[in-house]
Structure 1
Amino acid sequence: MNSGGRPVVSVMEVGGTHVTAASVDIETRGLRFGGAFREALDGNGSAADILSALVRCAAHLPVQSPNRWAVAVPGPFDYERGIGQYEGVGKFDALRGFDLRAALTASLPDVADLSFCNDADAFVLGEWWAGAARGHRTAVGITLGTGVGSCFLRDGRVLQHGPGVPSEGRVHTLRYADKPLEETVSRRALRRAYAAATGEVPPDVREIAQRARQGDRAAADVFAETFGALGRVLGPPLAAFEPTVLVVGGSIARAWDLVAEPLRAGLTETDPAHAGSIVITSAQYPAEAALLGAAYLATAPVATALGEPRRGRTRSS
């Protein structure tokens, strides 16, 4: 874990189309050895194919001594045992029941420790430890992409229950217009709404965003309605949880100019008393936050020695 006397942990973030690996310097809260490395990954591939992509990506990093690894993966996943629980989520079906911990331990050199964490939790912890939520005791983060990821954080601890915290701390369990939230707020929902408004075969979200910026009224309305709805759904739980910052990441957050205003308007509509006091911001490290957060979770006692409050090694789905 040490490089030149400084604590370093190797990390990976696993997504549906790629895997990213990096070495995180715990002292500087940054990436080392050339930054992050990415390899393509087919989330619908076989377990062997997925494992091969992870091992190829990991090979870009120097071997530490001892070699401590932290891996951020989306749920549903048994983070304690390192076994996939995917079924009907559109990716990683081949990892259902697959012991990824054993497979990686056998495939990576000199593994001294290997931990897993939820990717949304890692993202928010990374922004709390080193990014946009740094200095805030109580924070909420969401990721916008194929669905809505989320994490409710207080004093560096991931919370799964309590005032304002949805079931398991997951915003996607909430409902809007008598439907699961992700039927309104997600990549597929945005595309479906644009198709319904225009009668066109919908382009991807990036193109819809560009059309909105170029004056396409239907595209602008889709963004306004989608993220206004998200704000209205988030209003009551945030009022009860009382965070001082809401950090937004994920691929759709790249269109922050189209997301921020309707999101705040929706929050204000349902929670006018508190919405004005919450800092609403895009991620400071959108590409690195999950890597940083995974490293933090894996080395919380080390981070404590370097000046952070003591935190548990949280495992959350």
Structure 2
Amino acid sequence: MNTSHAIGLDIGGTHITAAVINKTEMKVLDFSLCKESFDSNMPADQVMNIWKKVISTSIENSKIKDITGIAICMPGPFDYKTGICWIKDQSKYEHFYGLNIRELLLETLGFPSDFPVLFENDAVCFGKGEVFKQQENLSKKVMAVTLGTGLGACFIDKGTSMDSGNSVPADGEIYNLPYKGGIAEDYVSARGLLSHYKSLNGRDLNNGLELYSLAKNGDQQAIQVFERMGEDLATVVIPCIKNFAADHIIIGGKIANASDLFLSSFNKIIQKSDLKVEVSISNDSEIAALLGAVSFLCD
């Protein structure tokens, strides 16, 4: 059997992760995983140069000469068919609004204009990847949630992602669901955590990691902020779990690494609702996202 390889990219508001994936076995090639943090609000050409460096390093380390495609998990709003970015006023990719990322990427890498490039929602990629990682999920209804710069979600029914119909929110998104006079992402995201902390004591923090460190060092207000986020997340997803009749909810994204601070309060609200749903935290959101992205190339 011929083995083909593709590049998987997980692109977020503050990072890029790249790896070369064996499409036949759906496995990340040894030594090909490469990642870098960056400020996505830099000018577009500077961001593209960072992407180029990470992608080139990944290919070089993999020792693979023949790459057959690129699969990219990208946050929205984004036109995943055309590759045009519509992210605006979200504290990320401020200089990318209206740009064709497919054309920019191929030009930056020096690839031909017809080289296969596929874009998919980052939360959908994460959910699909988790299903590949846990084969028993192929027979279940799974809701996957990503917690990071924003709030992502996807709904997977027996391995197929669902973004329309009466059982899921519009476009399979939950970030924009009305919540507490705003939207869910105002409260369940890095921005929401930092905003809540500032409302308690007036301090501006740089990022979620700083807040996590404070909480781990006993800052009661920081602990309270994470616990409240767990409650808010549960309140947001309960109607979705019920409507979709989900068997399993999987939580991933960078903030999932702080699950020791919010999972207990999340589970308390879930249990009060009398829902019978399995709850788990992803042990590697990035690998799941990369595998999920490349799975769409296989489709």
Inter-partner Cα distance in structure 1 for 2:64 and 2:49: 18
Q: Which residue of 1 is the match for residue 193 of structure 2?
A: 190
- The C-alpha deviation readout for 1:239-268, integer Å capped at 9, x for no partner, is 111111111111111111112111122223
The answer to whether the 8 A contact 1:83-1:97 is kept is yes
Inter-partner Cα distance in structure 1 for 2:135 and 2:209: 24
2:14 is aligned with 1:17: yes
Instruction: Describe the SS at the equivalent of 1:42.
Output: coil
Q: Which residue of 1 is the match for residue 78 of structure 2?
A: 77
Distance change (3 Å), C-alpha of 1:123 and 1:57: same
Q: Which residue of 1 is the match for residue 143 of structure 2?
A: 140
Shift of 1:17: 2.4
1:216 to 207, 213, 219: 219
Inter-partner Cα distance in structure 2 for 1:92 and 1:75: 11
2:53 is aligned with 1:56: yes
Shift of 1:214: 4.2
2:243 is aligned with 1:240: yes
| One-letter amino acid matched to 1:115 | L
Instruction: Describe the SS at the equivalent of 2:92.
Output: coil
Q: Which residue of 2 is the match for residue 295 of structure 1?
A: 294
Instruction: Describe the SS at the equivalent of 1:146.
Output: coil
Q: Which residue of 2 is the match for residue 250 of structure 1?
A: 253
| One-letter amino acid matched to 1:88 | D
| One-letter amino acid matched to 1:74 | P
Instruction: Describe the SS at the equivalent of 2:284.
Output: coil
| One-letter amino acid matched to 1:19 | I
Q: TM-score, normalised by structure 1?
A: 0.84
The answer to whether the 8 A contact 1:235-1:268 is kept is no
Instruction: Describe the SS at the equivalent of 2:212.
Output: helix
Inter-partner Cα distance in structure 1 for 2:240 and 2:200: 31
Q: Which residue of 2 is the match for residue 6 of structure 1?
A: 3
Q: Which residue of 2 is the match for residue 314 of structure 1?
A: none
Q: Which residue of 1 is the match for residue 284 of structure 2?
A: 285
Distance change (3 Å), C-alpha of 1:132 and 1:94: farther
- The Cα RMSD (Å) is 2.3
Distance change (3 Å), C-alpha of 1:44 and 1:115: same
Instruction: Describe the SS at the equivalent of 2:250.
Output: strand
Distance change (3 Å), C-alpha of 1:55 and 1:173: same
1:206 to 201, 204, 209: 209
Inter-partner Cα distance in structure 2 for 1:81 and 1:291: 20
2:97 is aligned with 1:100: no
The answer to whether the 8 A contact 2:17-2:286 is kept is no
Instruction: Describe the SS at the equivalent of 2:246.
Output: coil
Shift of 1:16: 2.2
Distance change (3 Å), C-alpha of 1:66 and 1:229: closer
The answer to whether the 8 A contact 2:21-2:291 is kept is yes
Q: TM-score, normalised by structure 2?
A: 0.88
Inter-partner Cα distance in structure 2 for 1:88 and 1:221: 28
Structure 2: segments with no counterpart, 5+ residues: none
- The C-alpha deviation readout for 1:144-171, integer Å capped at 9, x for no partner, is 1122111111122221223441121111
Inter-partner Cα distance in structure 1 for 2:85 and 2:168: 25
Inter-partner Cα distance in structure 1 for 2:79 and 2:221: 41
Inter-partner Cα distance in structure 1 for 2:292 and 2:89: 27
Distance change (3 Å), C-alpha of 1:207 and 1:38: closer
Inter-partner Cα distance in structure 2 for 1:296 and 1:220: 38
| One-letter amino acid matched to 1:127 | E
Shift of 1:55: 1.9
The answer to whether the 8 A contact 2:143-2:154 is kept is yes
Shift of 1:64: 4.5
Inter-partner Cα distance in structure 2 for 1:166 and 1:67: 34
Instruction: Describe the SS at the equivalent of 1:55.
Output: helix
